[in-house]
Chain A
């Protein structure tokens, strides 16, 4: 079989990647946060970025969102730009500010808004459907500042779902929730991935969360020092190399990858 024929076969069996990152570098002043990063984001994958503090995980997420200028390289998409839903780690909101969940979601819904900050008739059903999908329909009238960590993550996810995304980006989704909340969030993300066919990329420090959820893991330290299936990248040897210190990940389960 010729090389051209091999290429043709590959084109037929593998769908085109959603995004291709080629030799991407991001610099803050004289410091390179990322340098020479290559990555193909495959449609329908659950990709996790891990790595030590300052490794460039959040910067890569920001580069994908177009929030930081690229000092070098490029991000290529085949076809139209994918619709993106973004879930931040937190909101810049004073916890005593009386913004309700449905008001926050109305701000995130692209439909026409009601006069003076309310929820319009068109927005109401879409907001309730997004909350119901995440098992949070009862939270609609609650003030954002009174939510628990897990409830807050559901609301942020609902806001991202209102964009009808193809690509969902999450920054440290498990950072401020307890073990039980983290397990519930894993199930929710798994469910969204399966039922809506979303491509999901998330940044996390929680290796248990990553091992349960991701189908592929990228370990960053300015560049990828490991990229592949979770059971390979989350090995003691690979993590010790990435974090630069003796690293015992403990007992990890690799549910999604299995």
Chain B
């Protein structure tokens, strides 16, 4: 264990996991409540295109652009486009998500390939938590603060506008603004967390902890608490497991989350038999 702490990159990886795990889990409770798991997954995957566009700007205009900023701008633009299509087009929401997501990923891969950076695709898809530095930790802490501020501050509005937009409207909550703020939060989460888990695995951090918490909770408050604890536990244990087993961290965090979900499912299945 002493070896683990003797490397700075391991400490940074653990701090990142401890910040992003619970922050994504809190966001995930509302993603699940709003039935937007597929939507957040699509945005996570579209990060590939954000990075590709960053490379394109860099190559063509010789300007250095922060890939995180490109991912954020592209994810938010795509989220807004999808939200607009949900309201205005005759297509079903899941169809809109499917073609927006696959189309943008395909475009991103083509651009990356044309720029001759295909070898970088691996890092975008699977992330690299060990590349974290103090600057990344600050960005991640700022993101976590923003998630807590928006979702805890406007918890009533978010819950009610999801359950019944009409009731929310009567009580003075404005759903359109809440929706844009939520899309902004998901886009920011994708941009900041991409480095840790990569585009393919990121949505696991958002969706699995609340899904596991939901299985063993008797109230919304319990679900929030269990989800935060689960997110923290799975992400930090994932970093430890990856160190000890010498396997990539992103997949290890996801597998730890899946293990947690399986345990919660087992608990939910066994509990009624134990009581009888």
Q: Does B166 contact A (CB under 8 A)?
A: yes
Q: Which residue of B lies closest to A110 (CB)?
A: B171
Q: Does B262 contact A (CB under 8 A)?
A: no
Chain A residues with Cβ under 8 A from B164's Cβ?
A: 88, 91-92
Chain A residues with Cβ under 8 A from B219's Cβ?
A: 98-100, 103, 143
Question: Count the A residues whose beta carbon is within 8 Å of the partner chain — how many?
Answer: 30
Q: Which of A115-173 contact B (CB under 8 A)?
A: 116-118, 143, 159, 163, 171
Q: Looking at chain B's contact residues, is the secondary structure mostly helix, strand, loop, or mixed?
A: helix
Q: Does B221 contact A (CB under 8 A)?
A: yes
Q: Looking at chain A's contact residues, is the secondary structure mostly helix, strand, loop, or mixed?
A: loop
Q: Which residue of A lies closest to B172 (CB)?
A: A110
Verify B163–A86 contact, CB threshold 8 A: no
Sample of 17 further A-B pairs with CB below 8 A, known A97-B214, A99-B220: A67-B165, A84-B170, A88-B167, A91-B163, A91-B164, A92-B35, A92-B164, A96-B214, A97-B220, A98-B214, A100-B220, A108-B167, A110-B171, A116-B221, A117-B220, A117-B224, A118-B221
CA distance in complex: A103, B163 (Å): 12
Q: Does B156 contact A (CB under 8 A)?
A: yes
Q: Does B33 contact A (CB under 8 A)?
A: yes
Verify A86–B167 contact, CB threshold 8 A: yes
Chain B residues with Cβ under 8 A from A93's Cβ?
A: 33, 162-163
Q: Which of B202-237 contact A (CB under 8 A)?
A: 214, 217-225
Set B33, B165, B167, B221: member contacting A97, Cβ < 8 A: B33
Q: Does A37 contact B (CB under 8 A)?
A: no
Verify B221–A67 contact, CB threshold 8 A: no
A-B pairs, 9 with minimum CB distance = A98-B217, A117-B221, A91-B163, A86-B170, A99-B220, A88-B164, A100-B219, A103-B220, A107-B159
Q: Which residue of A lies closest to B157 (CB)?
A: A107
Q: Does A104 contact B (CB under 8 A)?
A: yes
Can you pick out 23 interface pairs between chain A and chain B where the beta carbons lie within 8 Å of each other? Answer: A65-B169, A65-B170, A67-B165, A67-B169, A85-B170, A88-B164, A88-B167, A91-B163, A93-B163, A97-B214, A98-B217, A98-B220, A99-B163, A100-B219, A107-B156, A107-B159, A113-B155, A116-B155, A116-B224, A117-B220, A117-B224, A159-B167, A171-B166
Task: State whether A67 and B166 are in contact (beta carbons under 8 Å apart), knowing that A100-B220, A103-B221 are contacts in the complex.
Answer: yes
Task: State whether A116 and B156 are in contact (beta carbons under 8 Å apart), knowing that A86-B166, A100-B220 are contacts in the complex.
Answer: no
Q: Does B152 contact A (CB under 8 A)?
A: yes
Chain A residues with Cβ under 8 A from B169's Cβ?
A: 65-67
Q: Does A255 contact B (CB under 8 A)?
A: no
Q: Does A237 contact B (CB under 8 A)?
A: no
Q: Which residue of A lies closest to B155 (CB)?
A: A117
Q: Does A258 contact B (CB under 8 A)?
A: no
Verify B171–A98 contact, CB threshold 8 A: no
Residue-wise interface mask of B (113-156) relative to A, using a CB-CB cutoff of 8 A (1 in contact, 0 not): 00000000000000000000000000000000000000010011
Q: Does A78 contact B (CB under 8 A)?
A: no
Q: Which residue of B lies closest to A106 (CB)?
A: B156
Q: Which residue of A lies closest to B218 (CB)?
A: A98
Q: Does A194 contact B (CB under 8 A)?
A: no
Closest Cβ–Cβ distance, residue B182 to chain A (whole Å): 15
Q: Does B160 contact A (CB under 8 A)?
A: yes
